[in-house]
Amino acid sequence: MFFENKFLSLAKQPLIGENIYLRMAKKSDYANWHEVRRNNYDFLQPYEPIWGKNALSRPQYNARVRNDKHDASMDAKYAFFIFKKSDNSLIGGINMNNVQRGVFQCCALGYWLAKADNGQGFMSEAVAVITDHSFDKWKFNRIQAATLRDNHASIRVLEKNGFDREGEAKRYLKINGKWQDHVLFAKIAP
C-alpha cells in the first residue's frame, strides 16, 4: 500500500490553467477514461506502446489509480488527467516519469490527447502548467521529453514551451510494437 506524505499531498492538488486543469485519476473517472481511450485507439496507437488485451478493463484501471498514488508517495512518478474547464471533460493525460533526485533532480515528461482536442492549444497549456509546477513545487532542475521524429504536433508543443532539442536516440522506446528512434528535448529550470 502507499502512505500519505508531502509528495502525495502535493500531487493531489489540482494544477489549474486558463482553459484546462490537471488532477490525479480517481476510480470514479473510469467510465470517462475508458470512453476516451477506446474512441481514440486508432489515433493514439502509432505513438504508444502496444496496449495489453485488458488495458481498458476496470481492474487494470483501478490498479493504475492505486499505482499512481503509490508512485507519487514515493516521489517516483506523477500522473495526471487533463480536463477542459469549459465542461470538465477528460481529454488526455500527462505525467512526469522516471523521477530522479540527488544530483540530477530530473523527470521525463509524457502525454497524450484525444484526437478531437488536438490543435486547440490544450496540450501546449498542459505542458506549460506542469513544467511551471515541476520547477516551482517539485523543484526539478531539468525536464526531459522524447518524441517520435515524425510526431510534428508533439515537437511543436515542446518547442512552444521552451524545450530545447538536444539530439536523437536510436531505438529509444518500443512504440507500437517496434523499437523507434526519438528526438530528445529538455527544459532547464529558470
Beta strands at 90-100 and 164-175: parallel, antiparallel or unpaired: unpaired
CA gap 103, 134 in Å, rounded? 16
Q: Which residues pair with 79 in a beta bridge?
A: 95
Q: Which domain holds residue 27?
A: 6-140
Binned at pLDDT 50, 70 and 90, residue 3 comes out as low
Instruction: Give the integer Cα–Cα distance in Å for 26 and 76.
Output: 19
- The torsion angles phi and psi of 175, rounded to 5 degrees, stand at -115, 135
**Domain of residue 129, CATH code:** 3.40.630.30
- Cα 21 to Cα 145: distance, rounded to the nearest angstrom: 21
Give the per-residue pLDDT at 64: 96
Predicted confidence at residue 173, as pLDDT, reads 94
pLDDT-derived band at 6, boundaries 50, 70, 90: confident
In a domain, 28, yes or no: yes
Cβ 141 vs Cβ 15: under 8 Å: no
How many domains does the structure of the chain reveal?
A: 1
Mean pLDDT along residues 49-77:
95
Residue 32 included in any domain: yes
Q: Is residue 181 part of a domain?
A: no
Q: Tell me the one-letter amino acid at 2.
A: F
Assigned domain for 37 exists: yes
Does 104 fall in a domain? yes
**Beta-ladder partners of 133:** none
Residue 44 lies in a domain: yes
In-domain check, residue 35: yes
Label residue 8 by pLDDT band (50, 70, 90). Answer: confident
Instruction: Give domain status of residue 148, yes or no.
Output: no
**The three cell numbers locating residue 111:** 502525454
